[in-house]
Amino acid sequence: MEPSDADLWARSRAGDRDAFGVLFERHAKLIYNYCFRRVGSWATAEDMLSIVFLEAWRRREKELQPDKVLPWLCGIATNVVRNQRRSARRFGAALDRMPAVEAEPDFAGKADERLDDEWKAQGTLDLLRKLPLRELDVFMLCAVVELSYEDAALALGVPVGTVRSRLSRARARLRELDPGFGHEQGESTALQEARQP
Amino acid sequence: MTDESAFPPLRDLPSGLFEARKQHLLAEIARAPERQRLSLPMIPLFQRRRRWRSVAVVALATAAAVGLVGVFGWGGSPAGPSPAAAAVLNRLARLIAAQPLTPQPGQYLYVESRSEYPAFEGASTCETLAVDHRQAWIGADGAGLLRDTTGPEHYSSGADQAACLQANPKVRLRNGGTSNDWFAPHCLALGPTDNWGSLSSDPHVLLQQMRQIDGGPATPGEDFVHIGDFLRETDAPPAVRATLYRAAALIPGIQLLGTVRDHDGRPGLGVAYPSQGPYASKGSTSELIFDPHTGELFGEQGIGPRYWAVYLREQVVDALPGKPPASLTPACVAGAGIGHQTSDGTVVTGGGVNSTPTPANP
């Protein structure tokens, strides 16, 4: 039986690096994609992924509610996105030690796909960046990463009611800015799958 | 409402990258609480060279090509990227990404350099040199000015002089002079592309794109040439430059030289590629030298053929140093939109030669 996030976090807090490695395996994809959707750059998202988990380890004294590891990581990621330069400075030396990795043999075939991703994300971000930052944070966590209101509140350290009102304002603003926003093909099952251990 | 569909689908990290990130994370958290910062020498400055010059370099090297030469990264395997060079380049990438080198509408990126690249008179064995002082104003709207002040030409060696005179007894070396090339909006494009927004921020993707845009053989040595072509005297935004550095970090065989001095004696961080492949002569090396404080490219030098360039200044400015001496047709086709002004004041535009010479310097 797979250990729960709560078990893994408890072991991580006790200094078990392997347990922390399992948490990385479990949540890296969602954090990586969340960071990408915030910045529109795969390369930056990769560094941010490392920073989020390094920061999580640095703060491992933190006692979390059961099964709240992911929202807590999303909260760290949100701060990393907001303070990119400060985070990069703090963990610059660690990132310097990241070895260069050669592309997979079949990478050329994926190159176009990843480039298209960046263009699409940048186009969406051009619109979303017109939202106030506090509304953008809530919108990205609830509507794009699909955290529950409670988890988004935990990630951002605000009351649930605040999350609801900010999300409502963000959606209203987006409808004004672009009535067709988000009405393409649904993809939400992908997120659900990414959240599964 | 499916807000998520406004974004591309979720992607996995490429498998090798996922494992590398995980191992890196585990290694980092296993380190002592007080982590040691990578110590780098503290020095200033930066530079670059010109694309058409690099073509001349390539042309010479082609004539002297002797086939493949083995390459060995400093601290890395012959087949893989050098960890030491990659660490430094990735650090430089973070520095350059924060530099204020993006001109806003109405502004220009000003780049000043000196360089000396070999030129050839007739046969490839006849080589001449001249120092070129170059100033470029690259407008946010694609307008701009290139001002070249070239010193007197001289032979590279006595053997070159003899070869030149044998090939053409009446050969005359040029005295040098100043020329100004003015560009109407959208007409000035330095570097292999003027569509920087089309380039990926993923260094693996960028390497592929550079091969498509810049051409040449698909070899690591040519990848290193592409890096220089996209960096030198271009208005590549800082984020693109950062990705170029990260892409350079992926090139197998790239070497970290540590602190090196450019032609003017200024110390910087050097990386090199011992050239290989059909365009390189045996023992040839190309070096890029970076400012360890800002991450900017501030020098280049190489042997086989021997050349150097120092980049003296790069900054955003609010205006050109004068007005074009003739009206430029605002259409960048068939030479229109460009005005060339020689030392004697003659002005040539896309529409032909102006009859009235104007002062050489605006």
Predicted pLDDT of residue B271:
93
- Put simply, whether the predicted model's pTM sits higher than 0.80 gets the answer no
The tens place of each residue's pLDDT in chain B, 362 residues long, gives 446 678 888 888 887 888 889 999 998 888 745 333 222 222 222 222 223 233 233 332 322 222 222 222 222 334 567 888 898 999 999 999 989 999 999 999 999 999 988 776 654 567 788 899 999 999 998 889 989 899 998 888 888 888 778 777 777 788 888 888 888 888 787 778 888 989 999 999 999 999 888 776 788 888 888 899 899 888 999 999 999 999 999 999 898 988 899 999 999 999 998 864 444 455 567 899 999 999 999 999 887 667 899 999 999 999 999 888 777 765 565 455 666 666 666 666 553 333 233 333 33
Both structure tokens of A17: 């690096």
| ipTM over cut 0.90 | no
Q: How many Å is the maximal CA-CA distance in chain B?
A: 80
The tens place of each residue's pLDDT in chain A, 197 residues long, gives 789 999 999 999 888 999 999 999 999 999 999 999 998 888 889 889 999 999 899 888 878 887 889 999 999 999 888 877 667 667 777 777 777 776 666 666 677 788 888 888 888 888 888 888 888 999 999 887 888 888 998 898 888 888 888 888 888 888 888 877 765 444 444 455 555 54
Both structure tokens of B169: 């007894």
Set of chain A residues whose Cβ sits within 8 Å of the Cβ of B209: 111, 115
Asked whether B351 and B339 are in contact (CB, 8 A), the reply is no
Nearest to B243 by CA among A118, A96, A44: A44
Asked whether B300 and B289 are in contact (CB, 8 A), the reply is yes
B16 touches chain A (CB under 8 A): yes
Beta-strand runs (E) in chain B: 108-116, 119-120, 127-129, 131-139, 144-150, 154-155, 177-183, 255-261, 267-274, 285-290, 297-303, 307-317, 338-341, 347-349, 352-353
Between chain A and chain B, the number of residue pairs with CB atoms below 8 A apart is 188
- A62/A102 Cα distance (integer angstroms): 36
Give the pLDDT confidence of A45-68 residue by residue, as tens digits: 988 999 999 989 988 887 888 788
Burial label for A141, CB within 10 Å (0-12, 13-18, 19+), is buried
Residues constituting chain B: 362
Beta-strand runs (E) in B252-361: 255-261, 267-274, 285-290, 297-303, 307-317, 338-341, 347-349, 352-353
Predicted pLDDT of residue B74:
28
* A25 Cα to chain B: minimum distance (Å): 8
B201 touches chain A (CB under 8 A): yes
A residues 21-50 lying closer than 8 A (beta carbon) to B: 21, 24-25, 28-30, 32-33, 36-37, 40-44, 46, 49-50
Q: Which amino acid is at B179?
A: S
Provide the 3-class DSSP secondary structure of residue B180. strand
Predicted pLDDT of residue B337:
62
For testing contact with chain B, the best of A85, A97, A142 (most B CBs within 10 A): A97
- B350/B353 Cα distance (integer angstroms): 8
DSSP state of B4: G
Indicate the angle between helix axes A107-128 and B203-214, nearest 10 degrees. Answer: 110
- B108/B139 Cα distance (integer angstroms): 4
